Amino acid sequence: MRYLCLLTIIKALNMIRNVIIALLVFSFFTAFANDSIKIVKLKSKVLNETREVMIRLPENYSKDTLKSYPVLVTLNDKDNFNWASNIVAIQASRYGVEDMIVVGLPHNGNYSDDNFPYKEDSSLELSAQSQNYSKFIREEALVYIENNYRTNGGRFIIGHSLSGLFVLQLLMQYPESFSSYVVLSPSVQYAPQMATALRDFLLKNEKLTNQIFLSIGEMEHSLIQTEFRTLSQTLKKNVPNTLNWTVVYLDNTDHLLSAYKGIYDGLAWIYKDWYINESKMRENSLNDYINHYQLLSQKLNYNIKPREKHLMGFSWFAENKLNDLDAAITAIKAGLYFYPDSLELKKRLTELNKTKD
């Protein structure tokens, strides 16, 4: 009897624990959820129908009316938009990425027709519907976003599964449309001819400056793994020196979860150079700082600066913990280059110069 009572109590406690965990997880994501999510019905002339456009605005969009933002486009289903919105909010709150406008373009029940690039499984002839969908994104959806919201020229796009095929095809036809292409678990088992198309594209375009994040879950089935290896090897063998790229196998991840983990890792990779580590900052000259962020701005296609607080924090750390006054001063001088009106930086430089004297 006691055993049964104890077992009942343990089950009840486990249920309570699970409820608490669920509430904590919900509260966590709710804390990062943004009230500024809009859904627009956009009449497409290209597609001859109305499409839903989901828009997540940055947290301070309405407060800082002078700031403009990069745009992240997500395809596939609404889940991808919701995941991307939460991931951007979390990463931006921890200074892993700059906050951005997230745009979701969910399908209308015609997912395959929109996203499969080819007319036939074994053909290189392109699908008319997929081409129209590409034109809708480039000439209607993006134009609407940039005409109605404060954007800065930075454009990123993420596609998963069949949408991954679509994003890769978009790169091969219109590389200038986006600065960064995130291709997650592309369903190349249905389109093995894409490796040939990619090889031909890379050989004809030796001055590409885009960023490409290509990934797959390590737990995905053998058919997609085999064709993915062929695709990634084609990229590695023919990639021009000007292209910034990476191929990633996502640990402990299957096809479905590769969308979520791939979004996080893809965005982290795009912004990996926003943060400069301690050892490089100790070596950097003022020109090194300037050149670093000029190059990053070219990669992302918008003007990006180091965080003022990051430079201030390093300056304090270099002076007080590393006993490296020169690095502390150089970091503040770099800050004043990017933020010439900052009274805090000016005060800090005066203090450092007095200490040096």
Digit-coded pLDDT (tens) for 123-144: 899 999 999 999 999 999 999 9
Domain extents for the chain?
Answer: 32-270, 278-356
**pLDDT above 70: residue 264:** yes
Rounded Cα distance between 262 and 233, Å, is: 19
pLDDT digits (tens, 9 = 90+) for 19-34: 444 443 444 444 444 4
Whether the Cβ atoms of residue 188 and residue 162 lie closer than 8 Å to each other = no
Whether the CB-CB separation of 255 and 79 falls below 8 Å is answered with no
In DSSP notation, 45-96 reads TTTTEEEEEEEE--TTTTT-TT--EEEEEE-SSHHHHHHHHHHHHHHHHTTS
- CA-closest candidate to residue 115, choices 166, 178, 64: 166
User: What mean pLDDT do residues 309-322 have?
Assistant: 97
Handedness of CA 121, 172, 234, 124 (dihedral sign): positive
pTM across the whole model: 0.89
- pLDDT for 268 equals 98
More confident residue, 76 or 3: 76
pLDDT at 219: 98
CATH second-level architecture of 32-270? 3-Layer(aba) Sandwich (3.40)
- Which element (helix H / strand E) includes 347? helix 343-356
CB 156 within 8 A of CB 188: no
Instruction: Evaluate whether 80 touches 74 at the Cβ level (below 8 Å).
Output: yes
The confidence score (pLDDT) of residue 15 equals 53
Between CA 64 and CA 175 the distance in angstroms is 31
* CA 263 – CA 284 distance, rounded (Å): 31
82-119: pLDDT as tens digits:
999 999 999 999 999 999 999 999 998 889 999 999 99
Show Cβ contacts of residue 279 under 8 Å, excluding neighbours closer than 6 positions: none
Give buried/exposed letters for 334-354 (b at 16+ CB in 10 A, else e): bbbbbbeebeebeebbeebee
Residue 9, pLDDT above cutoff 60? no
